[in-house]
Amino acid sequence: MLWWRRNRREGRPLAAPQRRILIPENIYRRMINHCYEERPLEACGLLVGAAGQVMAGYATDNQARSPVLYRVDDYQLLAAAEEAERRGREITAIYHSHVSSDPVPSQTDIRQATWPEAYYIIISLKGRRPRARAWRIVDGQVSEHRIVIARHYDGEWYDLRRAVQSAGG
């Protein structure tokens, strides 16, 4: 009756039941575009869904307004979380860009990670093409997870950024 222990690796985060996150292609493309729009600052946003499957994306303002640090705007985070809860969803991932470095969590990213149940997606704008990688960060332990781009269904996209809203209205 010890079969379940054989497959468990030491040091593996407890909050890693899924080894992949499924993102609709339209949300993935908009997330990448959002990162390019905010350059040279880091961009950040939220992905909402359930069980590792993304159903909606939210572009948010980087409250830190920095090229090396991100902080999702508090009010926009609250708005997205409330909307997700109303729809029976949860914040599945937090994404941000690295303008000139690889898509690997920095020490600052690891220290700032306070949602062990969420994926942290980092999009690197270094080089010719953007590269995205997904991570789980639990108690300072980092594990990589696969990003799967879904072409068979669309997701919803919301732009909560104040700068975009004020320019449009």
Mind listing the pLDDT tens digit for each residue in 127-143?
999 999 999 999 999 99
Contacts (Cβ under 8 Å, ≥6 apart) of 13: 116, 136, 138, 139, 141, 143
Pair 141, 127: CB distance under 8 Å = no
Of the candidates 47, 39, 37, 15, the one whose C-alpha atom is nearest the C-alpha of residue 150 is 47
pLDDT of residue 121: 98
Q: What is the pLDDT of residues 96-125, one digit of tens each?
A: 999 999 999 999 999 999 999 999 999 999
Residue 17 banded pLDDT, cuts 50, 70, 90: low
Return the percentage of the chain with pLDDT > 70, whole number.
Answer: 85
CATH number of 18-168: 3.40.140.10
Give backbone dihedrals phi and psi of 3, rounded to 5 degrees, phi first.
-55, -35
Lowest mean pLDDT across 116-120, 125-129, 143-147, 159-163:
159-163
By CB atoms closer than 10 A (0-12, 13-18, 19+), residue 77 is buried
pLDDT of residue 135: 97
Query: What are the structure tokens assigned to 127, written together?
Result: 């080089």
